[in-house]
Amino acid sequence: MTSMTALGFRSWRIGYLPAIYIILIVVIIGAGLTSDRFLLPSNLIAVFQQAVITGIVALGMTIVLIGGQFDLSTGAVVMMSAVMALLISPDSAVAAILAVFIPILAGAAVGVVNGLAVYAVRANSIVVTIGMQFLIVGLVLAAVSGQHVYPENLAASFRAIATTRIFGIPMPVVIFAALVALLSVLMSKTVFGRHVYAIGGDIETARKAGIRVIQIGTLTFALSGALAALAGVIIAALVGHVDPTAIAKYEFPALTAVVLGGTSLSGGEGRPAETAAAILVVSVITNLMTIMNYQYPVQLLVQGILLTGAVAFYAYRRGHA
Amino acid sequence: MTAPIIELVDIAKSFGGIRALKGVSLSIFPGEVMALVGHNGAGKSVLVQIISGVFSADKGTMLVAGQPVQFRNPADARDAAIETIYQTLALADNLDATANFFLGRELRKAFGFLDTRRMKDVAARALQALNPEFIDIERPVRQMSGGQRQAIAIARAVHFNARCLIMDEPTAALGPRETAEVGELILRLRQKGLGILLVSHDVRDVIRLANRIAVMKSGQLVGVVDAEGANEDSIVNMIIRGSAKGIRH
Amino acid sequence: MRASSLTSKPIFIHLFVKPPLVPLLLAASFLDGFWTSGNLRTLMESISTDGLIVIGMTIVMIAGGFDLSVGAVMAMGGVAAIVLLPFGLPIGLLGAVFAGGLAGYLNGLQVTWLRINPFIATLSMMVIVRGATLAYTDTRPVVSLDENFLLLNGGRPVPLPFLVLVIVAILAHVALTQRPWGRHVYAVGAGELAAAMSGLKTARLKRQCYVLSGVLAGLAGVLLASRLGTGSPIIGEATPLIAAAAALLGGASLRGGEGSVAGAIAGLIFVGCLINVLNLLDMPSYYQRMTIGGLLLLLVVTDGTLMRLQPR
C-alpha cells in the first residue's frame, strides 16, 4: 500500500478500490444483462483475445505517457513485426525463436528513434510518431510489394505461442497478465519507474535532480516499441498470415483505454494495472457492439466519444487535462 | 587563511549574441554567507546555474575546495557537495515528499528496486528535525503549502551534506514568520561550516543575514562589500549605478 | 543589391530554400510529361483541394494549435454535399461547409473550454467524424450524377477549384497581414498568456481559427467530391500529414506565432509536385506514404532542433 501513495497521486477511488475496476464490473454485468450471447464461454474468450493485442499496445503507451509523451506509431510497429515474423518463415524451432526476437528488437529500434527525436531533439511526440507510423507502413508495404504474406509450414513451436493453453487459459492472455504484473512492478517499485514519473511530472525538475532524462525517456519509447512488436508476433502466431494493406489502427482504442484507466495526458500519473482494466472495459463494450450488430464505423464513433468523454471527465476532476 | 569552498575565476557566458556574464570572479568561504544582489538580467541566475551545473561556462575556471572542476550536469555539482535550492524549488508535484527528497539519488535494493521503507524513515526524520510539525509525509507535494515545500527543498539540501548551499530567493514566497525561520536556519547552517550563496532581491534581508554582499550589474561584478556597516542606500546605489564609488571594499 | 539581403528575403526562402520549390521544379522538368497541359491540370486540381486545407492548417498552427481532423472532415463534407444535393446545389454546398464549421467549432470548444491538448482533441474528433461518416454511408461511397455538381470541377483553362483556392488565399493573406484580427492570431500563437493579459479574447480567436479550418476542410471535400464524382467516406487518411508537412515547409511552426499564406502556398505546391512526380514515376502508393511520412518526420525534427537552438 505504501508504494501506491508514494507516487503522490491517488486514482479516482470508490471506497478503497480504484474506480476503473468498479466500472469494469458494472460494464460486464451490464453486457451480460443486455445480451445472453455475451456470457457464452466462447465469446468471453474472444473478448480476452481481442483485449490482448490492444492491451499490450496500451501498456506500452501507458509507460510512454507517464513520461509525458505520446506514441502513436504502435499500430504500424505491430504490423511491421507481424510481417517480419512471418517473412522469417518460422518452419523450425530455431527459426521460431528468431521470428520472435528479431521483430521485437526491430520494434525497440523504432522506439529508440522515436525516443531520441522526442527527448534529444525535443520534437513533438504526436507528430513524430504519426510520421513514423506512415513511414513504417510505407516501408513494410514496399518490402513486400503490397503482397499478402502467407508462409507455408509454420512450425508448431511458433504457432504454440498463440495456441497453447495453460490451465485452459490461452497463452496470449497469460502473456498479457504476466506483462501487466511485470510492468506494474517496474513502474512502482524500481528506480527506473520512479524516474519516468518524475520526468512526466516536471521534466526540468527531473533534469535538475540529475535524472538522465534522454536515456530514460528513450527507454520508455523503446519499451513501447518492443511491446507493440510482441503483440505483432502474437498476431502472426495466431492468424498465420498477414494482409499488409489491412492496417488495423490499434493506437486509437489503446489510447482510449489508457486515458480511461486514469493515465494523465500531461504525464506523471497512471498505472499499468488500471490501463489493463480499462482495456477490458473497452473490449467488452466493443464486443457487445459486435454482438448487437453494430459494425466497425459505429464502434469507431463510440470509441471517439468515449475518449473525449474520458479526457473531459479527468480534466474536470484534476483541474487540468 | 582558509581556502574558499568555491572560487570562480573570470567566468564568462554568452547565449547566442547576448553576453550574460562578462568575466566574473568571486570566492565563497566556508562558514560565510555571501549574498548576491542585482537587477533582473544582471546575471545572477546565470551565475547560479553555472555553479549548480545547469550550464557550463564559456570561459574561466571554477574551483571547488581548491580543485578545478567541470560540471557537465547538475548531478556533477551535487557530487561535489554543492546543493541548490531553486526559486521554484524544483519539486515534482506529482510525487510525494519522500520521493522528492530522494529524487535522482534514490536508495536502492538489489536490481534497481527502490528501498521505499528506508527512504521514508530517513526523509521523515530529516523533515521533522527541520520542522517538527511536518507529519503528513504521504501527501502529494502538489497539495502542500509554500513553507512545507520549502522545508523539503532545504531538508534535502542539508541532508546530503552540502559543503556549499545555493539559495535562490528563498524568502520570496514566504510570510514573515517563515522568513524568520529561514533566517535562523541559515545562521545554524553557517555555524556548521557550510558556505552559503544567497541570491536575493531584498537588500535589507541580505544585510541582516549575510557576511559579504556581491553586487552584479549587466553581467559584471560591481563589487563585494562587507555586510557589517553597509547601508541599504549605498548597496542600492551600486545595484543601480554599477559603480562602487565611496564604498569600502 | 547586396547578395545577403536577397537571400534573406522571404520570397527567396519560400522559393529556393524551404521549400526548395524551384530546384524541385527544375528536377521535375527532366521527367517526360511533367510540363504537359494534362499533367498541369491534374496538378492544379489536386493542389486546389489540398490547398484549402493547408491554408486552414496554417491558420490554426499560427494560433498555436493543430488540426488532425481535417481529412475526416473533408470526407464528411463530400458525403454531406452529395447527400444534400437533391435539395439543390446551394443547400449541398452550405450543408457541407456548415458541417465542417460545426466540427471545427467543437474542436475549438474542446481546446478552449475543456482545455484538452489540441492534438488529442482533434484526434478524437477525427475518429468521431470518420466513424459517423462511415456509419452513415455504410462504408460505401455515395455517387452523384448531378451535372451541375460535376461542373464545379470544370472550367477552362483553369479549373474552378483553383480559382476558389486563389480567392481563399488572397482573403486569408489579407486577413492575416492587413487586419487586426490577423495580428491578434499571431499574438495568441506567440504567447497566449501575454495576449490574454493584453486584453485579447484568446479563447474566441482560437475557436475562430478551428472553425475556419473546419469550413475549409468541408469546402475542400465538396470540390474533391465533384472531381471524383463520388463522396467517399474513406479518403483523407493522409491529408493531415500532407497539410502539416506543407504548412511546416511554408514556415509555420508547432510553437505557434509563425507562418504565412505565401509560405503555405509554396509548401503546398512543393508537396503537390512531389506527389505528382512520384505518380509520374509510377511509384506505388506505399512509396508515397513513406515519402510523406519521412518528410514530415524530418521537418518536425528540424523544427524541434531549431526550437532548441533559438529559444524565444
- Listed by start position, the domains of chain C span 38-300
Instruction: Give the residue among A82, A100, A98, A91 at the shortest CA–CA distance from A140.
Output: A82
Q: Which residue of B has its CA nearest to A7?
A: B95
C-beta separation of B239 from B37 below 8 A: yes
Report d(CA B130, CA B132) in Å as an integer: 6
Report d(CA A267, CA A65) in Å as an integer: 6
CB pairs under 8 A between A and B: 100
User: How many residues are listed for chain A in this entry?
Assistant: 321
Report d(CA A282, CA C174) in Å as an integer: 47
- Alpha-helical (H) ranges within B54-201 are 74-79, 97-101, 116-130, 146-159, 176-191
Contact check, Cβ <8 Å, A205/B92: yes
Contact check, Cβ <8 Å, C300/A141: no
Question: How many domains does the structure of chain B reveal?
Answer: 2
Q: Kindly report the nearest CA distance between residue C141 and chain A, in angstroms.
A: 14
Would residue A313 count as lying in a domain? no
> What percentage of chain B exceeds 70 in pLDDT?
94
Q: Are residues B170 and B246 located together in one domain of the fold?
A: yes
Q: Kindly report the nearest CA distance between residue B95 and chain A, in angstroms.
A: 4
Which residues of chain A neighbour B153 with C-beta distances below 8 Å? none
DSSP assigned state of C17:
I
Residue B67 DSSP SS3: strand
Report A:64-83 residues touching B (Cβ under 8 A). Answer: none
Report d(CA A84, CA A225) in Å as an integer: 14
Report B:49-108 residues touching A (Cβ under 8 A). Answer: 52, 54, 73-75, 78, 84, 86, 90-96, 98-99, 103-106, 108
For residue C15, how many C-alpha atoms fall within 13 Å in the half-sphere facing its CB? 9
- Closest partner residue to C300 (CB to CB) among A131, A142, A308 is A131
- Answer whether residue B247 shows pLDDT above 60: no
Would residue A128 count as lying in a domain? yes
**Residue A7 pLDDT level (bands cut at 50, 70, 90):** low
Q: Are residues B147 and B53 located together in one domain of the fold?
A: no
Q: Best mutation site among A208, A219, A318 for testing chain B: the one with the most B CBs within 10 Å?
A: A208
C-beta separation of B53 from B71 below 8 A: yes
Q: Are residues B8 and B103 located together in one domain of the fold?
A: no
Architecture of domain C38-300: Orthogonal Bundle (1.10)
Contact check, Cβ <8 Å, A197/B54: no
Query: C42 vs B109, B212, C165, CA distance in Å?
Result: 67, 77, 15
Q: Residue B71: give the domain boundaries.
A: 1-81+162-249
Query: Is B41 part of the contact surface with chain A (CB cutoff 8 Å)?
Result: no
Query: Is C125 part of the contact surface with chain A (CB cutoff 8 Å)?
Result: yes
Contact check, Cβ <8 Å, C121/A304: no
Instruction: Give the residue among B157, B170, B177 at the shortest CA–CA distance from B206.
Output: B170
Query: Is A194 part of the contact surface with chain B (CB cutoff 8 Å)?
Result: yes
Report d(CA B125, CA C144) in Å as an integer: 78
Q: Are residues B142 and B174 located together in one domain of the fold?
A: no
Q: What is the pLDDT of residue A14?
A: 66
What φ, ψ does residue B19 adopt, rounded to 5°? -90, 100
Residues 6+ apart with CB under 8 A from C256: C61, C62, C63, C64, C65, C188, C189, C190
- Per DSSP (E only), the strands in C83-170 are 142-143
Report d(CA B143, CA B8) in Å as an integer: 39
Query: Is A12 part of the contact surface with chain C (CB cutoff 8 Å)?
Result: no
Would residue A162 count as lying in a domain? yes
Contact check, Cβ <8 Å, C286/A142: yes
Handedness of CA A81, A87, A90, A96 (dihedral sign): negative
Mean pLDDT across A22-31: 86
Greatest mean pLDDT among A201-205, A314-318, C285-289: A201-205
* Type of residue found at A98: L
C-beta separation of C217 from C74 below 8 A: yes
Who has greater pLDDT, A14 or B13?
B13
Q: What is the pLDDT of residue C78?
A: 93
Would residue B86 count as lying in a domain? no
Residue C134 grid cell: 462511415
Query: Is A205 part of the contact surface with chain C (CB cutoff 8 Å)?
Result: no
Q: Which residue of C has its CA nearest to A259?
A: C120
Q: Best mutation site among C68, C76, C123 for testing chain A: the one with the most A CBs within 10 Å?
A: C123
Among B142, B161, B180, the domain boundary falls at B161
Chain-centre distance of CA B178, in angstroms?
17
Residue B200 grid cell: 536575493
- Answer whether residue A5 shows pLDDT above 50: no
Would residue A155 count as lying in a domain? yes
Query: Is A319 part of the contact surface with chain B (CB cutoff 8 Å)?
Result: no
Q: Kindly report the nearest CA distance between residue A162 and chain C, in angstroms.
A: 30
DSSP assigned state of B89:
T
Report d(CA A218, CA A71) in Å as an integer: 12
Q: Kindly report the nearest CA distance between residue C73 and chain A, in angstroms.
A: 14
Mean pLDDT across B174-197: 81
**Residue B248 pLDDT level (bands cut at 50, 70, 90):** very low
Residues 6+ apart with CB under 8 A from A251: A57, A61, A71, A72, A73, A74, A75, A133
Q: Are residues B2 and B74 located together in one domain of the fold?
A: yes
Subunits with at least 3 CB pairs below 8 A relative to chain A? B, C
**Residue A129 pLDDT level (bands cut at 50, 70, 90):** very high
Q: Residue A84: give the domain boundaries.
A: 53-249
Q: Which residue of B has its CA nearest to A204?
A: B90
Would residue B87 count as lying in a domain? no
C-beta separation of A241 from A89 below 8 A: no
- Answer whether residue B245 shows pLDDT above 50: yes
Query: Is C3 part of the contact surface with chain A (CB cutoff 8 Å)?
Result: no
Q: Are residues B167 and B145 located together in one domain of the fold?
A: no
Residue corresponding to grid cell 505557434: C256
Each residue's pLDDT, cut to its tens digit, for chain C (312 residues) gives 444 566 666 677 667 766 778 888 888 887 777 888 888 888 888 899 999 999 999 999 999 999 999 999 999 999 999 999 888 888 999 999 999 999 999 999 999 988 888 999 999 999 999 999 998 998 888 887 777 777 777 777 778 889 999 999 999 999 999 999 999 999 999 988 888 888 889 999 999 999 999 999 999 999 999 888 888 998 888 899 889 999 988 889 888 889 999 999 989 998 888 888 888 888 877 777 788 888 888 888 887 776 666 554
Q: Kindly report the nearest CA distance between residue A136 and chain C, in angstroms.
A: 7
Would residue B115 count as lying in a domain? yes
Report d(CA B238, CA B39) in Å as an integer: 10
Report d(CA A269, CA A281) in Å as an integer: 20
Contact check, Cβ <8 Å, A201/B117: no
Which residues of chain A neighbour C133 with C-beta distances below 8 Å? 297
The helix or strand, by DSSP H or E, that contains position B199, with its residue range, turns out to be strand B195-199
Residues 6+ apart with CB under 8 A from A140: A76, A79, A80, A83, A244
Q: Best mutation site among B109, B114, B166 for testing chain A: the one with the most A CBs within 10 Å?
A: B114
Contact check, Cβ <8 Å, C297/A131: yes
Who has greater pLDDT, A2 or C96?
C96
Report d(CA B180, CA A237) in Å as an integer: 69
pLDDT of B6-39, one tens digit each?
899 988 998 888 888 888 899 999 989 999 998 8
Q: What is the pLDDT of residue C2?
A: 44
Instruction: Please give the ipTM for the structure prediction.
Output: 0.83
Residue C87 grid cell: 435539395
Contact check, Cβ <8 Å, A138/C288: yes
Report d(CA C207, CA C218) in Å as an integer: 16
Q: Kindly report the nearest CA distance between residue C243 and chain A, in angstroms.
A: 12
Query: Is A252 part of the contact surface with chain C (CB cutoff 8 Å)?
Result: yes
Among B120, B137, B161, the domain boundary falls at B161
Report d(CA B55, CA B74) in Å as an integer: 9
Residue corresponding to grid cell 521527367: C31
Would residue B109 count as lying in a domain? yes
Question: How many domains does the structure of chain A reveal?
Answer: 1
Query: Is B231 part of the contact surface with chain A (CB cutoff 8 Å)?
Result: no
Q: If phi over 0 gives left and psi between -120 and 50 gives alpha, with beta otherwise, what is residue B246?
A: left
Q: What is the pLDDT of residue C194?
A: 87
Query: Is A208 part of the contact surface with chain B (CB cutoff 8 Å)?
Result: yes
- Answer whether residue A66 shows pLDDT above 90: yes
- Closest partner residue to B116 (CB to CB) among A2, A200, A202 is A2
**Residue A232 pLDDT level (bands cut at 50, 70, 90):** very high
Which residues of chain B neighbour A202 with C-beta distances below 8 Å? 90-94
Contact check, Cβ <8 Å, B138/A6: yes
